[in-house]
Every structure is written in structure tokens, then in C-alpha cells.
Structure 1
């Protein structure tokens, strides 16, 4: 009997130490994206932020007016959705989110230089 009590107490302690994982389901932004290559690793263009943008969730990146952004893919716009690009902030000095790839609204940037055409249509994951 005492072994059973110890086992129950042990299991309750483990349950308190390891809560079940939970999260919020986020809808896909798009089902397809345009890239310069099949793996979306080559830079399509360099863009400059025209306005500040605060990321709404973990899929997006924060950008500040004037920052340069390497663009790696452009989501194919679907009905009732915004037009988003994926990229990373470039800067002369180190910044916390530099090198982090995330989405941002394409309407907030202007392309400064196009390196390659985004002519490969790839499904999003």
C-alpha cells in the first residue's frame, strides 16, 4: 500500500514538473511562395524599410525605417490576405535580430536592387 502511495505522489510530482505542451494554432499565410531557387536560400533582392514595423507574432520580424533587408522569398498572395515577403535585416552594426529570417509586409519596403528574378514557385511548409 505504501509503495502505491509513493508511486502516486511521484507521478503527481512529475506531472507538475512537466506540464503538457500547448500552443496557439496559426493559419498559413499562403500555400505558395516565389523564390530564386528551389530551396529559397538565394537572395532575390535588397529592400529598404520605408516605415517601422512591429512583428505581430513569431513568424514576423521587426524592422525599422531605413533598415536594409535581404529578401529570400515572396508569398503568393491569396484572397483576403496581405502580401508578405520573407527576409532578414542587414546592418553595418550587430543587432539582436540580425540574421533572423521572418516575414514582413511588402508594402512597407521598396526594392533597392534585384539580384535574381523570383521565378520558382515553391509550396510553403
Structure 2
């Protein structure tokens, strides 16, 4: 009886959640600037000058006044915008802390530079 219920459950889940297919997303840049080879160390602390709503999962939402740890800076290509990668900082933003994503560099001002981003790393 238990086996039959498990099979039925498995079949129902298979119908409800068919095979996952990926969506191709263009690369934002071919290179990024980091403080280390893994882009794990914080480059700077920035403050959001305006709100930003993430258009897809590669980006993070930011609210005006939020502090953001910056880990890498994409090298601008052609007519693309300049994006940085970072995570939101502060107790009032606990639900977003630890999520790293891109945001437009034009919407933030660097408050404090911890170390220079002098390593050029290819993006993946």
C-alpha cells in the first residue's frame, strides 16, 4: 500500500514539475576586477543612491540608503552598462544579507575602499 502511494506521488510530481530547461542569458562582461583570484575579498563599501529592482536572478534588489559590500567590478564592454557584484549589508536587511548579485554601479557611491581591485579575472 505504501509503495503504491509513493508511486502515485512520484507520478503526480512528475506531471506537476516537468523536466527543467535552462534559459540562455547573455554574459554581462568577459572580465571582472577583483582584489583576489576568487573574488572573495571585499573591495569596498558602497551606499545605494536610488532603488533598483533586479530584472533577473543574476541581480540583487537594492533600496536607497542600503550599504552594499562590493566584491567585483565588471569591465565595461561596448554599450553595456557598468555593473558591480556585491551583497546587501545591515541588520535591517537581514532577509537579503549573503545574497550576492549584480547592480548598476551608477546607482551607488563608494563610501570606503578596503583594497584595490587590481586582478583581472575572466567571467564564467
Alignment of 1:24-39 (within 5 A): 24-39=23-38
Offset of 1:16 from its aligned partner? 2.9
Number of aligned residue pairs: 114
Offset of 1:110 from its aligned partner? 0.2
Q: What SS class does the counterpart of residue 72 from structure 1 fall into?
A: strand
- Structure 2 gap segments, 5+ residues each: 1-7
Q: What SS class does the counterpart of residue 16 from structure 1 fall into?
A: helix
Offset of 1:92 from its aligned partner? 2.8
Larger Rg: 1
What whole-Å deviation, never above 9, does each CA across 1:50-84 have from its counterpart, x for those lacking one? Answer: 00000010000000000000000000000021100
Normalising to structure 2: TM-score of the pair?
0.85
Q: Distance in 1 between the 2:80 and 2:17 partners?
A: 38
After superposition, the CA RMSD in angstroms is: 1.7
What whole-Å deviation, never above 9, does each CA across 1:31-65 have from its counterpart, x for those lacking one? Answer: 10000001100000000000000001000000000
Counterpart residue number, 2:21: 22
Deviation beyond 6 Å, 4+ runs, structure 1: none
Counterpart residue number, 1:7: none
Please state if 1:104 is matched with 2:100. no
